Structure 1
């Protein structure tokens, strides 16, 4: 670790890519002391943020488990490990803050433009008011561009469980290209028991990765297997069967009253339970990332129709300039200066609904 503290990001970048242990050592060094500024910045960069967070969660789980073992055995290193655990927890909170900020930004980017862009919102309101005229203009523009009447569609379904359906349908339809390597093919054809064993082995090897499990067609089974392992392990480990890193404190007096072999089994199962959480968190992030990718590719696939719709609405606004100007003026107070972008947080959902209802009334009266 002392050597890592002296190295720059240029020195470490290649090592991080090929050796998870070097990345883990760097993450702990950053949490517990000084590292080169370029290293600290790189960990928090878009390229490495997810990897940094993954290692922090895995490290906290390992340190919590080490602290339990040391408490049970009376190991004199316990104060140092407890201090390190607290330091890594602080870094984990920092990483979570950055992840939340990114998630909000990405979520806003995927929102309909009618929610985030005053110009698009005004055009949408105008098109709904002049529905027949807008529909005719859109059909004419689509035909002029030589497009089919409607864009391609994919069945997304509803609810969180359907995220897996959306991912699997996207792969099968070719919208999402995901080559199946030999390792992945073996996992796809595994019976359930063998698959759960493979997932359990991946949980135990926190600094390695079974890349096959991360294939889009296996994310559903990976999630289910992790949930099964969590549920079957929690009761035996004195833990709770929910997705959390923090487990109830061990009753050391009760633990020491058990036969040694049984006590160690409880300690090791608690470590495994923390590993399940870390892998579940990673799996959930993979699901979110793939769903986001599918959404972006669906939007790209439909872009020619979206552009035709936008062009037809511009024509509509030119035909009804006074109404369009009224809508833009009404939305102006909520936009960022000099742009049509609606300020983040400028309108709650209820306020937006009330504003749009009043604008529809003004259109009807005009």
Structure 2
């Protein structure tokens, strides 16, 4: 209902329908930035191939990349792959930590802190394992830096676009209209959030935001009049 209101209000302000497409995921946001020319990141055949890889194949790809000392698998740095790259690196590090004799995945700690005796062959295997562990740590740090830069860049590009302020105003108007149409539902939201308010409009949550939001949505669905269709949520 809110999205329908935004589309109508935005159209009244002269915005094209493409500007009001609701973004529901990070890949959708990245794709919109690429399509609008805000982000120079062509989706090549290699990128498409990586996007279609299953979990084990993608993991083999990132491990092979980390094993390279003086080269990079540049396709992994594509905006559409960054989050998957980071998440898979973290999963691999968690699985590898015990065999690398590392208690965590934050950094590589000093092996001298352990006193377990090892043969030469064991030391060589452990050395190789820890070297790979360090390479994966480095790649994860790189992926996190790239993700931060990407998010900053996309936010700046969106705010520079002329449609940004118009859409923001349309969104505010849509919320106000929803409050006017459904005062009982709005009062319920306000009552549920009152315990978390430190001042009007500012919350200090004691439980995960997504969990609280899901609970309130479920309550609103039960309160909503049966003759009004409840819009699907993804």
For normalisation by structure 2, the TM-score amounts to 0.56
Q: Which residue of structure 1 aligns with residue 143 of structure 2?
A: 283
The offset of 1:222, in angstroms, is: 0.5
Query: What is the TM-score normalised by the length of structure 1?
Result: 0.37
Q: In structure 2, what is the Cα distance between the partners aligned to 1:304 and 1:251?
A: 54
Equivalent residues in 2 for 1:107-186 (5 A)? 147-148=14-15, 152-153=19-20, 165-166=25-26, 168-173=27-32, 174-175=35-36, 176=39, 178-186=41-49
Q: SS state of the match for residue 19, structure 2?
A: coil
Matches within 5 A, 1:68-79: none
Unaligned runs of 5+ in 1: 1-138, 158-164, 310-349, 354-366
Deviation at 1:253, TM superposition (A): 4.9
Change (3 A) 1:192 1:252: same
Please point out which of 53, 73, 84 is paired with 1:190: 53
1:229/1:301 CA distance change after superposition, 3 Å: same
Correspondence for 1:273: 133
Please provide the CA RMSD for this pair.
Answer: 3.4
Instruction: Give the drift of 1:177.
Output: 5.0
Query: C-alpha displacement at 1:298, in angstroms?
Result: 1.2
Q: Could you give the per-residue CA deviations for residues 34-76 of structure 1, whole angstroms, max 9, x where no partner exists?
A: xxxxxxxxxxxxxxxxxxxxxxxxxxxxxxxxxxxxxxxxxxx
2:123 to 263, 266, 269: 263
Following superposition, the deviation at residue 235 of structure 1 comes to: 0.5
SS in 2 for 1:236: coil
**Is there any run of 5+ residues in structure 2 with no aligned partner, and where?**
1-8, 170-197, 202-234
1:279 Cα offset (Å): 0.6
Q: Secondary structure at the match of 2:41?
A: coil
Once the two structures are superposed, residues 182-211 of structure 1 have per-residue CA deviations (whole angstroms, 9 ceiling, x without a partner) of 322222222211110110111121321101
The DSSP-based 3-state class of the residue aligned with 2:161 is helix
CA distance in 2 between partners of 1:149 and 1:172 (Å): 17
- The Cα offsets for residues 276-325 of structure 1, whole Å up to 9 and x where unpaired, read as 1111111011111111121122112245746xx8xxxxxxxxxxxxxxxx
Q: Which residue matches 1:208?
A: 71
Counterparts in 2 of 1:149 and 1:185: CA distance versus 1, 3 Å: closer
In structure 1, C-alpha distance between the alignment counterparts of 2:56 and 2:82, rounded to whole Å: 16
Instruction: State the number of aligned residues.
Output: 160
- The structure with the largest helix share of the pair is 1
Deviation at 1:153, TM superposition (A): 4.6
Q: Which has the larger radius of gyration?
A: 1
| Residue 294 (structure 1) aligns with | 154
Match of residue 226 from structure 1: 89
